[in-house]
Amino acid sequence: MKDRDVTVAPRGVLRGMREVPGDKSVSHRAALMGALSREGVEVEGFAPGADCASTLRCLEALGARVQRRGDRVRVARGEGPLGAAAVLDAGNSGTTARLLCGLLAGQPGTFTVIQGDESLSRRPMRRVVDPLRTLGARIDGREGGGLLPLSVRGTSLSGGVCTPGAPSAQVKSALLLAGLSARGSVTVAEPLKTRDHTEILLEHLGVPLRREGTAVTVYPLEDLPGGTWKVPGDFSSAAFWITAAALLPEADLTLPEVGLNPTRTGLLSALGRMGLDYGVTDLALSGGEPLGTLRVRSSSLEGTVVDAPEIPALVDELPILAVAAVRAKGVTEIRGARELRFKECDRIAAMAEGLRTLGAEVEEREDGWILRGPCRLRGGEVDSFGDHRVAMALGVAALTAEGPVRIRGAACADISYPGFFEALSEDTAG
């Protein structure tokens, strides 16, 4: 992925329709489930970004059968054992690395090494390695398994109850994948409910599963059933357009077939409290996931408070919520989001620096921000810090600024949303 800078100019009216890429979280999981299924999983609308491409490359290296034609992807179990010996490159994708740990830990007789790029090699892995070890997983790496590269020696896993120290859908999903090949049932009891795409997909495929409150239990299964469906549009990608339409004058934007899983749509709840003018129509299900058409209009926003219990449902949308907050009337406080310190970059620090450069009033806290508005944003030059969500959030901020904004390292948007900045500059008025 070549690095590049992008300059975003202020714009006037935002109208019409905008389609967003397929959901990244669902796409990762569909591919991983396919690798455990002789029948195979085939989906339309597979996410086009670099992260999901990393998952497909890793699965192919493990011996899974992978076919890709545009946005249609089919993954099925290969003839031999999954990953008798392989070195896997997860690129920049934390989801790929962490979920592969769960997928491979229970494959006896196999040995794999998972590595990643410079950014991913700094991100914490102990949060998934330690719970897997309680099931008997044999995983090692730098700092005792805390950092990539990791070696995974597949073995026969025991069942048991796992209680992750912090809410994490990636950790939960890795443990559930491991549970499918364990000797007994595996229960994951979370402190707070996190996104449930893995559970929904398992249920959609007909895999036995029990949910009780924030606890999920899976049972050993030799072969997963397969299936075919369409992946909903990625809500995290739609979040940038939702916020842009809310902030720009006379906006009226329609976003069709967007995923509306309630464990992902916390941004709508937060912006709704702030005064977002939006509606939802055409509700349906695809692959067990709810989706619908969102219509968003220019809105008069006021500040709000977002606290820890809300964070799991909007953790990826917090950078763009910070942009909405500095343009809203009054004070917005976002707390309980220390997890942002450990993403592709320190998103708390990166967004504080970027928004301050553009003239916003932002107070950085250890676990979030205090943001005061409405601020008049000026043009300038800001840094993405190699983080796709920071780059795109600052791109939306630039739409409302009084002059052009240059975003350094904007190519990182291709991790989740190839073509985002091109789409941002397109004329959608009409």
Q: Is 316 a catalytic residue?
A: yes
Nearest alpha-carbon partner for 199 in 223, 219, 173, 181: 173
Spatial separation of the C-alpha atoms in residues 264 and 412, rounded to whole Å: 22
Contact status, residue 26 vs residue 237, Cβ threshold 8 Å:
no
3-state SS class at 411? helix
How many C-beta atoms surround the C-beta of residue 171 within 10 A? Answer: 26
How many Å apart are CA 347 and CA 345, to the nearest integer?
6
In this structure, are residues 13 and 250 in contact, taking their beta carbons and an 8 Å threshold? yes
Q: 336 and 308 in contact (C-beta within 8 Å)?
A: yes
Catalytic residue (one of 23, 51, 130, 316): 316
The answer for residues whose C-beta is within 8 angstroms of residue 375's C-beta and 6 or more apart is 326, 327, 359, 360, 361
**CA quadruple 123, 130, 193, 372: dihedral positive or negative?**
negative
As a residue count, the chain comes to 430
Enter the DSSP assignment of 22.
B
What is the distance between the alpha carbons of residues 103 and 80, in angstroms, rounded to a whole number? 15
Angstrom distance (rounded) from CA 46 to CA 211: 27
Residues forming the active site: 316
